[in-house]
């Protein structure tokens, strides 16, 4: 059986929990206390981070890598596009998300950065600008790739859920993005995958 080592407030772990619930198969989620990390975390992941997925003798880390594995192992519903061209584009988008958005999410999540007000404000500003830039896309798109829910929506959702929690206020022009976010948050798998600590992040 798949076991996911997950942080109860970790946006990257939330991505993997979300995919596991979308697939609706058997799995176990083990909550990891990141303030008191068990030794086996660094044995399984040299970077000492969650999420980590194990299945028999396979050990994976990095949320997007874990999610692609789950998607290939349990193809229904498929979250990566079937067409190689669209798959390539989706992977590139996932990479861009990490470089342009989630690098700043990691700053907001980092314990070391909590005393660096300048770094935190810079992270918030970058996220705000980038999200405002992509917002008009959702005037015509239901999801990132158009009509179909995909891995890109999974990757982005934990950030959209945490905007208030991170102190990020989007401009009014970003309303289409907020509507898009609500569409994701209404999915049964999304709701099931939330931990109690995540549920209270958003009123």
Ligand X SMILES: N[C@@H](CCC(=O)N[C@@H](CS)C(=O)NCC(=O)O)C(=O)O
Instruction: State the residues that interact with ligand X by CB under 6 A.
Output: 7, 10, 12, 34, 48-51, 62-63, 106, 109
Would you say 38 or 171 has its CB closer to ligand X? 38
Rounded least distance, CB 47 to ligand X, Å? 7
Closer to ligand X by CB, 99 or 203: give it.
99
**70: helix, coil or strand?**
helix
Q: Among residues 50 and 134, whose Cβ is nearest to ligand X? A: 50
Question: ∠ at Cα 97 (52, 196), nearest 5°?
Answer: 50
Cis ω for the linkage preceding 77 (within 30 of 0): yes
CB 48 to ligand X: min, Å = 5
Which C-beta is closer to ligand X: that of 167 or that of 171?
Answer: 167
Nearer to ligand X, 12 or 180 (CB): 12
CA 135 to CA 173: how far, in whole Å? 8
Q: How far is the CB of 90 from ligand X (least distance, A)?
A: 16
Q: How far is the CB of 199 from ligand X (least distance, A)?
A: 17
Give the span between the Cα atoms of 117 and 141, in whole angstroms: 36
Smallest gap from residue 34 Cβ to ligand X (A): 5
What region does 48 belong to: left with phi over 0, alpha with psi -120 to 50, or beta? left
What is the residue-wise DSSP string for 89-145?
A: HHHHHHHHHIIIIIHHHHHHH-SGGGG-HHHHHHHHHHHHHHHHHHGGGGGT-SBTT
Backbone angles phi, psi at 6, to 5 degrees: -135, 145
């Amino acid at each position: 059986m798949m076991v996911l080592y997950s942080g109860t407030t970790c946006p990257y772990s939330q991505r993997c929990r979300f995919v596991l619930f979308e697939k609706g198969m058997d799995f176990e989620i083990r909550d990891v206390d990141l303030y008191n990390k068990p030794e086996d975390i660094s044995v399984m992941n040299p970077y000492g981070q969650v999420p980590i997925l194990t299945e028999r003798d396979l050990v994976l880390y990095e949320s997007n890598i874990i999610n692609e594995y789950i998607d290939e192992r349990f193809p229904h519903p498929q979250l990566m596009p079937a067409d190689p061209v669209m798959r390539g584009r989706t992977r590139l988008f996932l990479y861009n998300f990490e470089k342009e958005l989630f690098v700043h999410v990691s700053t907001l999540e980092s314990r070391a950065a909590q005393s660096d007000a300048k770094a935190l404000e810079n992270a918030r500003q970058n996220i705000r600008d980038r999200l405002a830039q992509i917002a008009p896309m959702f005037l015509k798109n239901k999801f990132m790739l158009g009509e179909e829910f995909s891995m890109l929506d999974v990757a982005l959702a934990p950030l959209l859920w945490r905007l208030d929690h991170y102190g990020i206020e989007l401009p009014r022009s970003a309303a289409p993005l907020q509507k898009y976010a609500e569409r994701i948050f209404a999915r049964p798998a999304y709701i099931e995958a939330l931990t109690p600590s995540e549920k209270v992040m958003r009123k």
